[in-house]
Structure 1
Amino acid sequence: MSPRKSDSRERMISSAAELLGEQGAGATSIDRVLAHSGAPRGSVYHHFPEGRAQLIDEAVAFAGDVMARRIAAARAGDPVAAIDAFFTLWRERMIGSGFRSGCPVVAAAVAADEEGPRWADSAAAVFGRWQEDLSALLMTGGLPEARGRRLAAFILGAVEGAVVLCRAERSTAPLDAAAAEIHDLLVHALPDRPDPAADAGSDTDAGENSPS
């Protein structure tokens, strides 16, 4: 079944985000987005009257929304497990793309095109949102706001830097190392996080003391 025309805007935004991560802003042209998404050429200026600049803006926002939803979904659980999952997501992305896919938000932040400053502002807004969401997650584990914000910025920088190294080395080793170090840091830094070992022990005790 061919895609519905009403889907063309969403497909173009998703394709632009994927191409940004793989090829950078300079190579993310309208023609490439159309070829990747299968959207009709006539839909470009209908959906994006400002052309390529608007399309990339919206692709950056889309990438930001995807990650923000994942962080928000994790906030009800253990913050350490949530951050572990954040790293695992990027690890799977690296492997699944053959180490071709980086972060589309970073690609926009470092764009050298004439629209570079505009896209850098869009990227800054996304990074700011991620830091707010991560710091809120860390504060649920008992960190004071100031340290939560610092650690959120540190985690985000570690992830993004590790992704660059993974692409260069074609290995998940940099991401695995960053994930392990941050896991250990958070286990000792968060005073109010659930203790999985204690929970497991309680379950075991309950099982031993329950009637057979």
Structure 2
Amino acid sequence: MTTRTEARSRAIATAERLFRIQGYTATGLTQILTESGAPKGSFYFHFPRGKAQLAEEAIDHYVDARKAVLRQISSRTSGDAAGFIRELFKVFAAEMAATDYQYGCLMQNLANELPSIDADLTKRVARGFADTTEIISDHFRACGHPKSRAYSIANAVVAAAEGARTVARLQRSSAVFDALTTAFVTGHLE
């Protein structure tokens, strides 16, 4: 028998996966319930505000996981801006390949469709981008870049990574991450 906590966790994980693959609008509650195995009554117990509340939790889970990955990469490449870039794009490329190029970035997918649907979820996604950009900026500041330069590089890295995921999905190849690594290491971090 499934516990309520397991049902809740599975619903969040399923929503996160589906939002990454097909977006928010194309993902219905019926699909989430079916694929997660969560009973409808359990779903509304955990998410009384429905799909929007589930999306909030999926966003928070995704952002927390992204921040943890960024902090781990930063820790492993302490003081090494080029090493950080290499490791970051290597991790993203590996994730894309591991999901057979099906998974986009949850924040990017939702950012593309939420502004006209839900202002609160849009703000949550924007905060997720701001938080992850700040971690990247902190790494570059720790590598000796002035604050404004570090923030500029971090914004460029985030924008490039989001575009690269889209290109990787379309091409079903991680080659774009190699190209970004070369461009950033030789063009921005010299």
Instruction: Give the corresponding residue for 1:139.
Output: 141
Instruction: Give the corresponding residue for 2:113.
Output: 111
TM-score, normalising length: structure 1: 0.81
**5 Å matches for 1:151-166?**
151-166=153-168
Cα distance in 1 for residues equivalent to 2:172 and 2:130: 29
Counterpart of 1:175 (choices 174, 177, 180) is 177
Instruction: Give the corresponding residue for 1:57.
Output: 56
Using the TM superposition, give the Cα deviation of residue 150 of structure 1 relative to its aligned residue in structure 2, in angstroms: 0.5
Using the TM superposition, give the Cα deviation of residue 144 of structure 1 relative to its aligned residue in structure 2, in angstroms: 0.9
Using the TM superposition, give the Cα deviation of residue 61 of structure 1 relative to its aligned residue in structure 2, in angstroms: 1.6
Q: Report the CA distance shift for 1:18/1:138 in structure 2 as closer, same or farther (over 3 A).
A: same
Q: Report the CA distance shift for 1:139/1:107 in structure 2 as closer, same or farther (over 3 A).
A: same
Query: Which has the larger displacement, 82-91 or 54-63?
Result: 82-91
- Partner deviation per Cα, 1:120-164 (whole Å, 9 max, x = no partner): 222101000011111001111111111111100000000000111
User: Is 2:99 the counterpart of 1:100?
Assistant: no
Stretches of structure 2 that go unaligned for 5 or more consecutive residues are none
Q: Report the CA distance shift for 1:82/1:7 in structure 2 as closer, same or farther (over 3 A).
A: farther
Stretches of structure 1 that go unaligned for 5 or more consecutive residues are 189-212
User: Is 2:19 the counterpart of 1:20?
Assistant: yes
Cα distance in 2 for residues equivalent to 1:161 and 1:38: 33
User: Is 2:47 the counterpart of 1:48?
Assistant: yes
Q: Which amino acid aligns with 1:57?
A: E
TM-score, normalising length: structure 2: 0.89
Instruction: Give the corresponding residue for 1:73.
Output: 72
Q: Which amino acid aligns with 2:156?
A: F
CA RMSD of aligned residues (A): 1.9
Counterpart of 1:88 (choices 87, 90, 100) is 90
Q: Report the CA distance shift for 1:11/1:143 in structure 2 as closer, same or farther (over 3 A).
A: same
| SS of equivalent residue, structure 1 residue 18 | helix
**5 Å matches for 1:187-206?**
187-188=189-190
- Could you say which structure has the greater relative contact order, defined with CA pairs below 8 angstroms and 6 or more residues apart? 2
Q: Determine which structure has more spread, i.e. the larger CA radius of gyration.
A: 1
- Partner deviation per Cα, 1:70-89 (whole Å, 9 max, x = no partner): 11223333243233222122
